[in-house]
Structure 1
Amino acid sequence: MTSLPSIPVSMEDTIPNLAPDSLPITCMIWNVQGAGSRNFVTNLKDLVKVNKPNVLALVETHMEGEQAVKIASILGYDGHTRTDAVGFSGGIWIYWRKDVVTVSPIFQHNQHITMEISRVGAIPWYFTAVYARDFNDTRFPSERNKSCSETNRRSTLFNAWVENMDLLEVEFSGAAHTWARGKTPETRQSGRLDRALCNDQWAMRDTFGNIFKQKQILLARIGGIQKKLATWVDRGLLKLEARLRKELDEILDREEMLWYQKSRITWLQEGDKNTTFFHLSTIVRRWKNKVSALKNKDGLWVQDKCEIQNIIVEFFSNLFTEDGEQNLLDIPQDIFPELSDSD
């Protein structure tokens, strides 16, 4: 279908700038599954050339330090720290360019390295490169080609952990599944086992933008299919519509989770995709407690400060008077406890 229906302007077009206007720090993590082959070095050089990461993390290197130093020299990174593999298991190597960023390792473990990163002279932030079996979990059904009660249980626990840690997931582009094994339809398994999580202080606008873009594309495709089905019913189109609607539900759930975490409204445990509420509550927190305009009794907007004050005084005066006269006797008395002078 070559024509897509237009998407109405909505709140996605007025997303607040969630990150300060500063030069970004690009970080790249690659699960290399062994860093000793000649092809690996060739592919790595090409990836670095294309993505130009300021900070590069290689996990599951299966090797000790001599190769790590060699790679640093080949790629031109003058900053380097690592935890070497234990035998032929694990290994995390971190590289950075000292003229661009300052990296200070804080905690090093054979399954993760936590560091403080900043552009030279800028405010630092924290970054952790993780390679751990506990993170080999998916969050949504679409992130696996096969599911069972156990994978669903683990997904529930993983999602609860992400929410309890007040983390947001950075959306991605590319293949939906980043891991696969099995060469036949019967043995094939695949899933998305790689992701980036951040707290709301460092949530980038792209996180929201990518979700909204996916939602707009899905709405457009569903609209086109429904338009076609109105004139011609096809079994394939019906199946495609059902699949796309399921994907849309997942996108809406992700969008709601993002706004929920941004809004910090802990008392609201469940929602019915009421993302407008979450969005507005996030924005309202940033507004100053200020009244800039009010409508007077004639329905006209008033912006003058003195006139606004008069409108407010008049409103509450009328609210607490009856027939133009104060009636204080109807107001309940002595219903609130008082503190003594000594208290």
Structure 2
Amino acid sequence: MVKMKIISWNIRGIRKKEKSRAVATMVRNYKPGILLIQETKLEKCSQAIRRRIGGSILNSWTVVPAVGSAGGLMVLWNDKDFEVTNSHLSSRFIAVFGSFKNSCDKCVIINVYGPSIDAEKEDFFRELLNFVTAQTVSVCIGGDFNVYFDPTEKIGMSQNWFSIAILRNFLNHTNLIDLPMVGGRFTWCNNREASTWVRLDRFLISGDFLISFPNVLQSLLPRSLSDHNPVCLEEKTVDWGPKPFRFFNYLLEEKGKFNGISESIADLELKINNLEFKAQAGDLCQQDWGHLLQFRSDLWRLYRIEESIWFQKSRAKWIKDGDRNTRFFHLTALNRSRRNEITSLKINGSEVVDPQSIKLHIAAFFKESYSSMSTLGVEDLSLEFAMLSEFQSLKLEEQFTEQEYGKR
């Protein structure tokens, strides 16, 4: 199955062969389905440029030429991964409409290059806001916004509170999601001795896009010849091994052995379907009719349980208890999962991303903490604690053995 992968890169001029070769190498190494390039600095873009940087991987493209030696946008894509139906070109952004081959959901991918001059930023974000809010499909925006969201996204020089306010206002009005960045905090550096680091490049996605690709991950790639890092948006799952048991409220009301919710729903729907076929043929007896009514009632109950699980996962209270909005619960739970996800750990000054290594370091940390003798021991307190008698211990052991035998 083809997975969604988009890479955005402000290359700061692609005319030089060294720069175009750097882009071509990145395309060969990471094989994106869509590539968003900012600051091409090309007034004219030829097929030779497309072939040089896209090779056989990215076989289609659209461009916005630079004005003189300033700006310039390019979007390249693989027809086997992404089917484009339409496009919209502006001086500061390119929007391509279509759908990924592994998803039937339509979307728009927007490549942006925000102005660096504060006086021009309001007009740019107003134009982009009007375009985004007019869309009826899921939205994914990537590129160099030339603004940042939070003071922690910049070190060196003074904070630009105007830029922060502009991006925050844009996100408030569009409800787009700013995904966490894996592999680093900043995407641009001024390459001076007293360096300034800022996160100017990012992807922003709509809730519908996140629902279509719930395993989407945003990560930083090596900077290469540009002063900007490429940013990769990829549908990627990390194998953390078996999931730990999680207790849900509905388990308190269930009696006996209970299968997974999804499996039980699928099993009931199949049984209902078979009985309905018998009813259509006139072969349904009174006992079957009773089973059908019971199965339908059980199916409603299971769907209510499934909704309560998502409600518990989302940790959100809806306006009205009787109101049911499964899409809201799904999106809230996905957002919470994104915020809480551990993608890397810094251990002894080195960043560790391998799941097995992370689990081993975490286990070693807590093992050392719990085996430490730095705290006051129970013996040092000189207190008398009640203890189980030998008879009580034997009775507990017998009960435990009976329960285990009963489960088998």
TM-score computed with the length of structure 1 as normaliser: 0.51
In structure 1, what is the Cα distance between the partners aligned to 2:218 and 2:199? 21
Equivalent AA in structure 2 for residue 280 of structure 1: R
Determine which of 59, 65, 72 is the counterpart of 1:84: 65
Paired residues of 2:64 and 2:72 also in contact (CA < 8 A): yes
- Spell out the pairing of 1:224-243 with structure 2 (5 A cutoff): none
Determine helix, strand or coil for the equivalent of 1:205.
coil
Compared CA separation, residues 153 and 102, structure 1 to 2 (3 A): same
Equivalent AA in structure 1 for residue 150 of structure 2: F
Determine which of 112, 135, 149 is the counterpart of 1:139: 149
Determine helix, strand or coil for the equivalent of 2:315.
helix
- Spell out the pairing of 1:1-343 with structure 2 (5 A cutoff): 23-66=2-45, 68-74=46-52, 75-76=55-56, 77-120=58-101, 122-133=104-115, 134=121, 135-146=145-156, 148=158, 151-185=160-194, 188-203=195-210, 204-206=213-215, 279-281=314-316, 285-286=325-326
1:24-69 Cα shifts (integer Å, max 9, x gaps)? 3211111011001121122112211221111112110001334x42
Q: Shift of the alpha carbon at 1:164? A: 1.7
Determine helix, strand or coil for the equivalent of 2:181.
coil
Determine helix, strand or coil for the equivalent of 2:325.
helix
Percent identity between matched residues is 18
Moved more, 165-174 or 112-121: 112-121
1:277-304 Cα shifts (integer Å, max 9, x gaps)? 89233897329xxxxxxxxxxxxxxxxx
Q: Shift of the alpha carbon at 1:119? A: 2.7
Q: Shift of the alpha carbon at 1:73? A: 1.8
Compared CA separation, residues 157 and 44, structure 1 to 2 (3 A): closer
In structure 1, what is the Cα distance between the partners aligned to 2:67 and 2:325? 48
Aligned pair count reads 198
TM-score computed with the length of structure 2 as normaliser: 0.44
Compared CA separation, residues 277 and 116, structure 1 to 2 (3 A): same
Equivalent AA in structure 2 for residue 281 of structure 1: A
Q: Shift of the alpha carbon at 1:157? A: 3.5
In structure 2, what is the Cα distance between the partners aligned to 1:92 and 1:154? 22
Determine helix, strand or coil for the equivalent of 2:201.
coil
Paired residues of 1:54 and 1:96 also in contact (CA < 8 A): yes
Paired residues of 2:176 and 2:204 also in contact (CA < 8 A): yes
1:69-122 Cα shifts (integer Å, max 9, x gaps)? 213223123211111111111111111122332123431012101111213483
Equivalent AA in structure 2 for residue 69 of structure 1: Q
| Structure 1 residues without counterparts, runs of 5 or longer | 1-21, 211-275, 288-343
Compared CA separation, residues 157 and 89, structure 1 to 2 (3 A): closer
In structure 2, what is the Cα distance between the partners aligned to 1:129 and 1:93? 8
In structure 1, what is the Cα distance between the partners aligned to 2:43 and 2:317? 47
1:158-213 Cα shifts (integer Å, max 9, x gaps)? 2132022111012222332111115222xx32211001001111124346999xxx
RMSD of aligned residue pairs (Cα, Å): 3.1
